[in-house]
Structure 1
Amino acid sequence: MLDRLEDDTYAYRRKINHYYPFHDEGEWELGKFLVENLTQTQITKFSKLKWFNDHPRPSFTTKDKLLDWMDSLPCFTEWQVSKIEFSGYKTVYPIELIWRDALDVVKQLFSDPIFANHMTFVPHHIGVGNQREYGDYMSADMAWKIQDYLPIGATQVPIILGSDKTPVTRLTGGLEMHPIFITIGNIDSEVRSKATLRAWRCIAYMPIVKFRVHTDYQSILQARLWHKCMDLVCANLKAAAAEGCFMPDPFRFIRYVFTPLTVDPWDLDKFQKAAKVLNLSGVHMPYWRDWIYACPSVFLAGKILHTCFKFFADHPLKWVKETVGAYELDTRYIAQHKRVGTRHFAKGITHVKQMTGCEYRDIQRTIVASIAGAVSPRFIRAIRGLVDFTYLAQHPVHSPQSLQAMTQALSDFHSFKDAIVAAEARKGKKGVKEDFFIPKLELMQSFEGTIRRLGTLMQFSADTTERLLITHCKDLFPRTARQSKDFTEQCVRILNRQELMEIFDLYALLTSRGASLVNAIHAEDEDVTIANPALSWVSRILPDEVKSVHGPRPVRNHFLKGILSGDALTAFQLNVTPDYKSLSPAEIRTKYTLPDFDHTLTDFIRRSSLASDEHTCWDPKYGRFQVWNKFRLQLHSAFQPRVIMPSRVVQAYPLSNDFPLGNCDTILIDGPGMDGNITSYVAQVRLIFQPTIRRGSDVELPSYLSNPLLYVQYFRFISRPEDRPELMMWTVERVYTHDANGNRHRHGAVVRLTDATHAVELIPEYGEAVDKSMTSATCSESYERFFLNNFADKESYHAFSTEFV
């Protein structure tokens, strides 16, 4: 890729001026800003501003000159327009396909040095213990089967396609197109799953046309047109899959490459209407017919977004609404405690008209615990089976054990779905009862086989493709009338300029700073935290230019500068400046309503001094304290221990007008049990503090007081998951003690910050009906019994399923 840049027509001029044809870097940034943000008319108005009468003008004096300069920048895969004709059929507008050669785009992706540390070139087996692990495509069965048919030493570049039927040109006088995206399975799934990392490239904009035929044949002809266009775009990819071709990898080695079609995750409902009567789509020449190693039963992989999340919204959620009642269900969601980083439905969930996969996921996260008590146990168990299946299907890595658990979860749903029938919950439109012959439900049966063949399904998520519409296509095309004869040519020029500017920006940055264009490839750090390959690459070559790279920033690694737990598996972060720099014990007791604060701190000092032989003359009754209202807790991934997860915020706010009882989150704490062994406790954090000493004082704090401490109030476990198999959740209730006067108080204690192990979520046990006086600000303080929600996120689900006992 970099050699082709050096071979550009004007490369010799750029050895003198790295930003040629622009005068310097500043002028290049101005020109890029104008082209990306202003229309041609606005650029003309800008160039005629009176301000330029007293200030130097840029080298480009007109919008035409600016655009010509942009068009002269080096390019790899140019866009083009092809006219498509269907003999015997007329259309409202001419059929024009905007596309570029898919093989050239694949070569660019395969050789991009940015992805050098994030690529795999050979199939491999991963063994964890005595079980095989299925992760990316190269660790699955199909990669090995195809490799067996390739010449010795050949490399397969698995082709992954993506599309979305959402038109990207609705405002252009009736012209509609939808994009086709491509990536390769060699790039790690963590990189491919983020749309902003540019691992996906657009290769075509499929025309959506209206044929002058009877409506019964409209969708059939559109389907044939789609396959005909795909034939043209992917012709060279199919040739490379059959005969192979040579292309350089990011390390500048030339490889003999084959390009099998691995995944084309369609929405399988796409052509169902056309095939309703005859069970046929009417497409007699599908584009994959001559693509070697391509089989629809393999590459038409199920999608988590449509098959799981949208299925959940279209069916199980409707069953729950019908059984629980819209008002009661809304009230249960409105009353849930708000946690930072988790969606809270302040107005309920039944009135939301438009939802995305994120909303479906957030509703699904608490649905099982939320409906407990309002429906029969068998009904809950059926819903729980589908939620379990969805969570297990989202695992970034799988083992035979997890695949068996996923299959069992789906089997549980079918075993208990009679409860849904008994509750008369399957009412469709106009009250008509629905059956269970649901295509998406049937498709779930194939998930286990697909994962064994292709790897985890999350790497093919349609959520990424839908996000690409925003990152790659939003506001891309001009709002020009469709009657404009050169509209498609305008679109092509815009697409080419976008590609030119993106490549030239990084090229000019490196050459102008004197950096070598040969990739500086290093082994990754022990802990993987950088989520942006471009940022990682530039940070090694030009550390001072990291700010020039756009896209998601790295996950902040608190393991480097934060507070570590004793086993170094958990990191904590507190703001440098506390929320309260100096509070007395009396102020803490009043502000946070902690009447036993002095007693619990004294007890903590006594226990710690006995355990460590460190004594102190510092008096907690007259000491001063720094206080924080929140801290961050960070863990490694439960699936991939080298990967660091984003931190979670744990709140401990005092009483306020918005939160009359405080706003405090719950955590899991490891501490000594009655038998002396380490035991897990659920506790609510009420205070985050650290003792301080006055300046000039000769008192020294012992080690157990020199780090942040937590005042917590405990919960005790009252039932195990096995006691309520429909929920499979731990149930906890608050712990109380009685003082000398017989008054009941919540049982509190002081513990080290580093004793915390997880941030956990508690859902109140609402019973048959929720108390209507409850709000999200009071429910966590007013209810006594709670379910420990193991569906808080995929990481928590996996951790509680495999670690927590």
Structure 2
Amino acid sequence: MVDISQFAESALQLRRSPNPIPHHGINSDGYPSHFDVDFFETEGEEYMSAEERYEGTGTCYSLDGLTFLDLFDVDEYAECRKDNLFYPFASKEEWEITDFLLRSPLSMAAINEFLALPMVSALHKCWHFEILWTRNFASSPSRNSQVSYPSHPQIEAVIHWKCQIIPSLHRTKTPIRLFWRDPVECLEALFSNPLFHDKLDFVPHHMYTTAAQLTRVYSEWLMGDSAWEFQSQVPRGAPILGTIISSNKMNITTMTGARVAHPLLLGLANICMQTRMKLSSRAFLLTALLPIPQYLHPNQRMRGVLEDCLIHQCLSIILKPLMITAKIGIMMSDPVRNVHHCYTPLAAYIVDTPEACICGKTSPFTMASYLEFGDNFCHPKCTCYITLGQLAKIHVDPNDLEGYFDACAVYRLNGVHAPFWQDWPFACPSVFLTPEALHHWHKQFFDHDLQWCIAVLGAQELNFRFLIVTGRVHRDLQCYIVGLIYMSQSPSLDDNLLASIDQSLSTFHQNKDVIMMLGAETGTKKTIDNWYIPKLELMQSITASTCKVGALIQWSADATEHAHVSEIKDPVRQTNNNDYDPQICHHLDQQDKLRQFVIAMTLKSGVLDPDPEELPVDEGDDEDIAEFNEPCTDQQTALLEGLNCTRVTTNYFIKAKEAATVPCGPSPHPPRTFTADNTAIHLNYSPTRTGMKIDDVADEFNILDLHDAISNFLQLDARNRDVIHEVGVSRRSLIDRPSTLPFDRVQVWHTVHLQEVSFHDPRVILPAQTLHASPPCPGWPKGQ
């Protein structure tokens, strides 16, 4: 990277966006000026030019609901906390040490060693006792059918775990135990969580790009057709709380043991998409641990049928309270004490393809069989009425496994006689089962699309073409090869983009025979001459599902599977590696109480505004100017940022704006941050090498036209003094003007920080990436 000392210019050629737009600086909000930021306002606000809202919903029945702090203040020690907020701890400092020990991975023996240290022993005895008591109350769980917990006086659990024995007519190695907690209480905990108070929306609405309402936009769940239809089925004024459930089997041991868990997570679709998908928000709660029994039936296929039936039976038990509230509603209090009469329809079931499919060798969304997976059109939807009608035509006793399974084969069903959703009002598999990015798109791309490219081009050629692709390989390669998958991941799609997705898929089907002609579709042993690819058929439902439930990226299992770390894998590390489920429940119960106490103490103590200087900042050097942070006008919003503080992404667009606002005049330090289109460029304060002759730089880096390039850049800069160092413009011929420079030495940087905004959403500033450039050497003839 070459810098022209007093001009601080660069000749770096940038990777341009697919449709570059002329750059004229950055606007007052710190975004590139060609972005229409008014089109992308903050969550919960109207950001399109036209909106149609469902009238008469979100009615508040009273203002005397119970908030989080109201529930916290009803215990017997509320009077003691009037004098000492952190009672029974003597001070905030004592509580912070206790909280650290309880959240740490230290064993009880290690904590005892710490407490036995002379300095620690000199502290208050009540603190010493409180640590031991709080830690011991979540020791090995009870083995009774009903799990019960002692109640900590200051860390009151809101949602208690329960254990239920599931009877079975078929023998298993161990009794079938279901650990679960009330899903209505879980949903209410999310609904009333003070951390989400400004991230909730209750009103279904249709968004358009213009006031003429010609082009519809789909983003949040409440912007889809299904939310509008649900709202029309409930009493006027009653808000709908979209229920999200997710389940997926996972390994909880590494390399050995083959221990598996099947967690059921629950979320709230009314929480804005960006907050819900953020891992630090903890917007998904573990609601149940589904049993994974070992049936002793001699037929392996029948054992699979029994497992499928058990899953639906357990889901029916767990989710029954939600089904009741979807019928008659329930009074709930939001985070600011407003009471609403809420209904709980099933918004989405985030699940992998094998678990989602009730039918064997058929699509979970449509009536297509495996013979029709390669068709270039979308088959009729597999609605709840079709499936329940087929089940009603089967008159074989479900306890006769073989006979009932054979009868189901006629309708391509997998033997489940009682789907969990059959009693859930408004629930239809063709709506709540959606195409899923992680398992359906990314896996399909790597299993098929990429293999076709390797078979046609060869592994060596493909590796050469994409050798520069680093990190997040699945997604990065898709940006270069498959446009359909990339477009489908947009957090905001309009009718035009949906039409482009359909056209892209149609183009593939029109030309897919070439793949067969080249023999690119191969299996493990031979070439495949058919299109029996389930995930290919699922792509036909992308646009239809988007219209129903909003942007499909919000239903990706990526967020829920990451939640498995905090909800399952971390608690497992605290167990004795025997009988995991009850110990996981106890650990989560303890962590929930600690988290609630932290929130309550933070709210009551008024420590709401995090100090920006204490937050870890992304790449930068000591001489960087201060990071610009918009002041947080809402205290509870600041609380969310404070409790969930993660690494702060440095906004180099803001830095460039601040550099542009500096009064004109001589400066001891030329600016080090510039913008070009949708990219910001930042140089470290100190160059790697100083005082190098231009000819020496050209020879060392093998840049033969460096002299002409710098001269061309200076001439462009002289004609555009009102623009701060525009980088990335096209080169012009210098035939009519000699290549002269007012200097012969330059400064050189070997590293540069590049930052871009998200292609789909220019509000999102992506983390900066560091580009290293080294001159040619024997090991790297063309440099590195």
Partner of 1:639: 760
The structure showing larger relative contact order (alpha-carbon pairs under 8 Å, at least 6 residues apart) is 2
Question: Contact between 1:79 and 1:492, CA under 8 Å: does it hold in 2?
Answer: no
Partner of 2:445: 312
Q: Alpha-carbon deviation of 1:589?
A: 3.6
Partner of 2:617: none
Is it true that 1:511 corresponds to 2:604 in the alignment?
A: yes
Q: Secondary structure at the match of 1:429?
A: coil
- CA 1:589–1:157: 2 relative to 1, 3 Å: same
1:659-688: CA deviation from partner (whole Å, max 9, x where unpaired): 44334xxxxxxxxxxxxxxxxxxxxxxxxx
Match among 413, 435, 441 for residue 302 of structure 1: 435
Is it true that 1:388 corresponds to 2:477 in the alignment?
A: no
Partner of 1:47: 115
Question: Contact between 1:79 and 1:98, CA under 8 Å: does it hold in 2?
Answer: no
Is it true that 1:5 corresponds to 2:61 in the alignment?
A: no
1:379-423: CA deviation from partner (whole Å, max 9, x where unpaired): xxxxxxxx2221222121112211111112111222112111111
Distance 1:568 1:560 in 2: 14
- CA 1:391–1:323: 2 relative to 1, 3 Å: same
Q: Secondary structure at the match of 1:20?
A: coil
Q: Alpha-carbon deviation of 1:470?
A: 2.0
Is it true that 1:88 corresponds to 2:169 in the alignment?
A: yes
Q: Alpha-carbon deviation of 1:63?
A: 6.7
Question: Contact between 1:164 and 1:465, CA under 8 Å: does it hold in 2?
Answer: no
Q: Which runs of 5+ in 2 are unaligned?
A: 1-67, 139-150, 362-405, 610-628, 661-673, 724-739
Match among 573, 576, 584 for residue 491 of structure 1: 584
- CA 1:432–1:558: 2 relative to 1, 3 Å: closer
Counting only pairs closer than 5 Å after superposition, residues 589-608 of structure 1 correspond to structure 2 as 589-606=698-715, 608=717
Match among 499, 508, 528 for residue 433 of structure 1: 528
Partner of 1:661: 782
Which AA in structure 2 matches 1:562? A
Partner of 2:225: 141
Question: Contact between 1:244 and 1:258, CA under 8 Å: does it hold in 2?
Answer: yes
Is it true that 1:179 corresponds to 2:263 in the alignment?
A: yes
Which AA in structure 2 matches 1:255? H
Distance 2:474 2:683 in 1: 33
Partner of 1:573: 682
Is it true that 1:164 corresponds to 2:248 in the alignment?
A: yes
Partner of 2:697: 588
Question: Contact between 1:538 and 1:546, CA under 8 Å: does it hold in 2?
Answer: no
Match among 191, 194, 201 for residue 278 of structure 2: 194
- CA 1:660–1:502: 2 relative to 1, 3 Å: farther
Paired residues in the alignment total 601
Partner of 1:267: 352
Question: Contact between 1:195 and 1:471, CA under 8 Å: does it hold in 2?
Answer: no
Q: Secondary structure at the match of 2:174?
A: coil
Q: Alpha-carbon deviation of 1:195?
A: 2.2
Match among 337, 340, 344 for residue 255 of structure 1: 340
- CA 1:412–1:34: 2 relative to 1, 3 Å: same
Counting only pairs closer than 5 Å after superposition, residues 446-595 of structure 1 correspond to structure 2 as 446-477=541-572, 488-513=581-606, 541=635, 549-562=643-656, 571-595=680-704
1:683-715: CA deviation from partner (whole Å, max 9, x where unpaired): xxxxxxxxxxxxxxxxxxxxxxxxxxxxxxxxx
1:698-735: CA deviation from partner (whole Å, max 9, x where unpaired): xxxxxxxxxxxxxxxxxxxxxxxxxxxxxxxxxxxxxx
Distance 2:293 2:177 in 1: 10
Which AA in structure 1 matches 2:601? A
Q: CA RMSD in A?
A: 3.6
Greater Cα shift, 404-413 or 535-544:
535-544
Q: Alpha-carbon deviation of 1:124?
A: 1.2
Partner of 2:328: 243
Q: Alpha-carbon deviation of 1:643?
A: 3.8
Match among 71, 83, 106 for residue 38 of structure 1: 106
Question: Contact between 2:157 and 2:589, CA under 8 Å: does it hold in 1?
Answer: no
- CA 1:305–1:53: 2 relative to 1, 3 Å: closer
Partner of 1:102: 183
Distance 2:504 2:770 in 1: 32
Question: Contact between 2:204 and 2:228, CA under 8 Å: does it hold in 1?
Answer: yes
Distance 2:600 2:753 in 1: 39
Question: Contact between 1:126 and 1:132, CA under 8 Å: does it hold in 2?
Answer: yes
Distance 1:583 1:432 in 2: 59
- CA 1:117–1:635: 2 relative to 1, 3 Å: farther
Q: Alpha-carbon deviation of 1:157?
A: 0.9
- CA 1:217–1:80: 2 relative to 1, 3 Å: same
Q: Alpha-carbon deviation of 1:458?
A: 0.3
- CA 1:479–1:569: 2 relative to 1, 3 Å: closer
Question: Contact between 2:166 and 2:177, CA under 8 Å: does it hold in 1?
Answer: no
Q: Secondary structure at the match of 1:204?
A: strand
Q: Secondary structure at the match of 1:321?
A: helix
Partner of 2:424: 291
Is it true that 1:364 corresponds to 2:478 in the alignment?
A: yes
Q: Secondary structure at the match of 1:208?
A: coil
Question: Contact between 1:173 and 1:480, CA under 8 Å: does it hold in 2?
Answer: no
Match among 65, 72, 75 for residue 133 of structure 2: 65
Distance 2:258 2:575 in 1: 10
Distance 2:116 2:584 in 1: 26
Question: Contact between 1:141 and 1:453, CA under 8 Å: does it hold in 2?
Answer: yes
- CA 1:656–1:176: 2 relative to 1, 3 Å: same
Q: Secondary structure at the match of 1:252?
A: coil
Question: Contact between 2:279 and 2:562, CA under 8 Å: does it hold in 1?
Answer: yes
Distance 1:178 1:114 in 2: 28
Question: Contact between 2:195 and 2:637, CA under 8 Å: does it hold in 1?
Answer: no
Partner of 1:773: none
- CA 1:208–1:111: 2 relative to 1, 3 Å: same
Question: Contact between 1:538 and 1:545, CA under 8 Å: does it hold in 2?
Answer: no
Q: Alpha-carbon deviation of 1:599?
A: 4.4
Counting only pairs closer than 5 Å after superposition, residues 765-776 of structure 1 correspond to structure 2 as none
Question: Contact between 2:332 and 2:341, CA under 8 Å: does it hold in 1?
Answer: yes
- CA 1:112–1:435: 2 relative to 1, 3 Å: same
Is it true that 1:422 corresponds to 2:517 in the alignment?
A: yes
Normalized per residue, the structure richer in strand is 1
Question: Contact between 2:209 and 2:217, CA under 8 Å: does it hold in 1?
Answer: yes
The normalised TM-score by structure 2 is 0.69
Q: Secondary structure at the match of 1:269?
A: helix
Which AA in structure 1 matches 2:332? M
Identity score, percent: 30
Distance 1:482 1:610 in 2: 71
Q: Alpha-carbon deviation of 1:131?
A: 0.9
Question: Contact between 1:115 and 1:187, CA under 8 Å: does it hold in 2?
Answer: yes
Q: Alpha-carbon deviation of 1:3?
A: 1.6
Q: Alpha-carbon deviation of 1:471?
A: 3.4
Question: Contact between 1:40 and 1:63, CA under 8 Å: does it hold in 2?
Answer: no
Which AA in structure 2 matches 1:248? S
Q: Alpha-carbon deviation of 1:440?
A: 1.5
Partner of 1:321: 454
Partner of 1:700: none
Partner of 2:44: none
Distance 1:595 1:482 in 2: 65
Match among 234, 238, 255 for residue 154 of structure 1: 238
